Amino acid sequence: MKTTGAKAILQSLLHEDVELLFGYPGGAIMPLYDALHDAKSLRHILVRHEQGAAHAAEGYARASGKVGVCVVTSGPGATNVVTGLANAMLDSIPLVCITGQVFSEFLGTDAFQEADIIGITLPVTKWNYQITSAAEIPAVMAKAFYIAQAGRPGPVLIDITKDAQLGELNFVYQRYQPKQLLPYQHALDAQQLMSAATLINQSKKPYLLIGHGVLIAKAEHELLQFAEKTRIPVACTLLGLSAFPTDHPLYVGMLGMHGNYGANLLTNEADLLIAIGMRFDDRVTGHLGSYAKQAKVIHIDIDAAEINKNVHAEVALLTDAKVALQTLLEHVQPQQHEHWLNEFKTCYKKEYKEIVAHAVSPTKGAVTMAEVIHQLSQKTDGQGILVTDVGQHQMVAARYYQFKRYNSHITSGGLGTMGFALPAAIGATLAAMDREVIAIIGDGGFQMNIQELGVVAQENLPVKIIILNNGYLGMVRQWQELFFEERYSFTELKNPDFVKVAEGYAIPAQRVTERSDLSHALDDLLTADGPYLLEVVVKQQENVFPMIPAGAGVGDIRLS
């Protein structure tokens, strides 16, 4: 079938079952946008900034399990998506980003809106490629979608010159078939498998560390079966949250710098760590020199590059988390570990008395972030999808929302990208219209992509937005207080009237300053038919504890 390159791109998307794309038009991508005008089977969401397109595609991918797609023009349009690509790379999110490029004859001439986006994005993509001929489009698009999803997911960028979009080709599409199997596609190493089972069966203080890979593999059911059979305590990384129900008796909390007291402290008491789909990030391990030196490690990961990168593994299973858990289930023996589990309960009682009780149920003073999240969790019964930005509110939301439904927590983990939540919540809402999507955002991060309120308004999306406004860049201010002698250097914010900003977009909004108004305001938010913004003015100089100071080990976790 004879067609143009622009139409071939759209046909390729349809062959990959794409229904939705996020983008922003411009000169070098205009032929594709012209073809989109008549493409009734594809829904396009016009963002207000290209970074918003990347984050919205990430939110869509995280909530749907599909590949997120964004489309932008050359030059500044392409460079504006780089942060989103870096974010997706670190958090293993499958994206295909299509960028327009100047005519091939002008490549390398510093033409108007030309940028070497292939060179720029090489470190933050799984693969990138520049198309200069229309005939290349079907095969390159097929490879792009395969690579984005294969193994450890991630972003792919396809740069397409304007003449390739305008040129003609005979369109034939075939899904990409790799010439050889990837390492994780081979059969599990039987010796390693049995070694893992033996270690688990013999361990007295085993500990399950759960990362994002369990959610990517859709292995939540297998994890639950495995944990309940072995009675091993379960902790989640920030990105692993909602892979295991937080109200389950085997759940012992969140790992990491602002995670739970026992979940971190007792890492250095375990005799066996079973790490599944997590990469031993520095925010989880703290100082590596003092991290779990007494424990043997079983590391299950689909990416060979993660094995022994930070922590030595006694046994490594290079495979998908679902496959590993299904296979191990047949070889592990039922256990109890009641004494070991009680150690976590003892730690939590201490944490609850010293931190949690006062945070979620204060009797005086300003509203706290924790009580907002605690009430939200109760009112939604832990069933909502929380999309959080980056900062103190992110840690509080992760700590105090009770995730009772799988795949319910979307945040920026590895890159820590402020401005992520609003566009990501747009993408998540479009992927899960049957669920309540709530964006939890700080006053600083909200202003980084505040313009995406225009998308919420134009599409009338039922995104619920809660701004926890403390008038500071809260996490940086906390560090300045604790580690820089209270030298508050450029962290105080003069904010706009967020309610009036929302009303300017015809989005209903209200501000809460008093504790007595909070419950009713949350009800208004949750019962609104369409979008709604709730600004809660919270305690200004509130700190998030527990905390592992930078450079310290997990055993140095502080309660105050």
DSSP assigned state of 108: T
Annotated catalytic residue: which of 143, 162, 205, 322?
A: 162
Q: Which of 1, 105, 112, 383 is catalytic?
A: 112
Sequence-distant (6+) residues with CB within 8 A of 51 are: 80, 81, 83, 84, 419, 423, 449
Exactly one of 16, 50, 436, 535 is catalytic; which is it? 50
pLDDT of 286 reads 95
What is the β-pairing status of strands 2-4 and 168-170?
Answer: antiparallel
Catalytic member of 19, 103, 113, 309: 113
Between 381 and 181, the more confident residue is: 381
Residue 325 has pLDDT above 90, yes or no: yes
Cα–Cα distance, 396 to 359 (Å, whole number): 10
User: Rounded to the nearest 5 degrees, what angle is found at the Cα of 305, between the Cα atoms of 304 and 306?
Assistant: 90
pLDDT over 90 (residue 186): no
Whole-number mean pLDDT of the chain?
Answer: 97
DSSP for 334-365, written as a single string = P---HHHHHHHHHHHHHHIIIIIHHHHS-SSS
pTM of the model: 0.96
Inter-residue long-range contacts of 338-345, CB under 8 Å, 24+ positions, other chains counted: 338/231, 340/204, 340/205, 340/206, 340/233, 341/231, 341/233, 341/249, 341/250, 341/252, 343/262, 343/266, 343/269, 344/233, 344/252, 344/253, 344/262, 344/263, 344/266, 345/262
Q: Percentages helix, strand, coil for the chain, rounded to the nearest 5?
A: 45, 20, 40
The single residue listed with the structure tokens 């590895």 is: 414
- pLDDT of residue 1 exceeding 90: no
Average pLDDT estimate for 319-333? 97
Q: What is the model's pLDDT at position 550?
A: 87
Helices (H) and strands (E) in the chain, counts: 24, 20
Does the pLDDT at position 345 exceed 90?
yes
What are the phi and psi torsion angles at 263 (to 5°)?
-60, -35
Fill in the DSSP letter of residue 130: E
What number is the average pLDDT over the span 462-469? 98
Strand partners, 97: 70, 157
Is 7 part of the annotated catalytic residue set?
Answer: no
Angle (nearest 5°) at CA 57 between 53 and 60: 140
Residues 233-288 pLDDT 10s: 999 999 999 999 999 999 999 999 999 999 999 999 999 999 999 999 999 999 99
Return the pLDDT at 189: 92
- Asked if residue 93 lies in contact with residue 61, where contact means CB atoms within 8 angstroms, the answer is yes
- Rounded to an integer, what distance in angstroms lies between the CA atom of residue 338 and that of residue 441? 39
pLDDT of residue 183: 86
Say whether 494 is catalytic.
no
Q: Which of 89, 257, 475, 547 is catalytic?
A: 475
Residue 472 three-state SS: strand
The letter for the amino acid at 451 is Q
Beta bridge partners of 168: 4
Q: Which residues of 157-193 are buried (b: 16+ CB within 10 A; e: fewer)?
A: bbbbbbbbbebebebebeeeeeeeeeebeeebeeebb
Residue 374 host element (H or E): helix 369-380
| Cα angle 372-213-341, degrees, rounded to a multiple of 5 | 65
- CB count within 10 Å of CB 233 equals 25
Question: Does residue 539 have an active-site annotation?
Answer: no
Those residues whose C-beta lies under 8 Å from the C-beta of residue 341, and which sit 6 or more positions away, are 231, 233, 249, 250, 252
Taking the C-alpha atoms of residue 195 and residue 189, their distance in angstroms, rounded to an integer, is: 10
With pLDDT > 90 as the criterion, what percentage of the chain qualifies?
Answer: 97
> Residue 353 — pLDDT band, cuts 50, 70, 90?
very high
HSE at residue 349, side-chain half, CA atoms within 13 A, is 6
pLDDT of residue 54: 98
Residue 363 confidence (pLDDT) above 90: no
Concerning whether 480 is annotated as a catalytic residue, the answer is no
Mean pLDDT of 10-27: 98
Q: Is 106 a catalytic residue?
A: no
Return the structure tokens found at 462. Answer: 């039922």
Residue-level length of the chain: 560
pLDDT band for 184, please (50, 70, 90 cuts). Answer: confident
Query: Is pLDDT of 180 > 90?
Result: no
H/E stretch holding 230 reads helix 220-230
pLDDT at 181 over 90: no
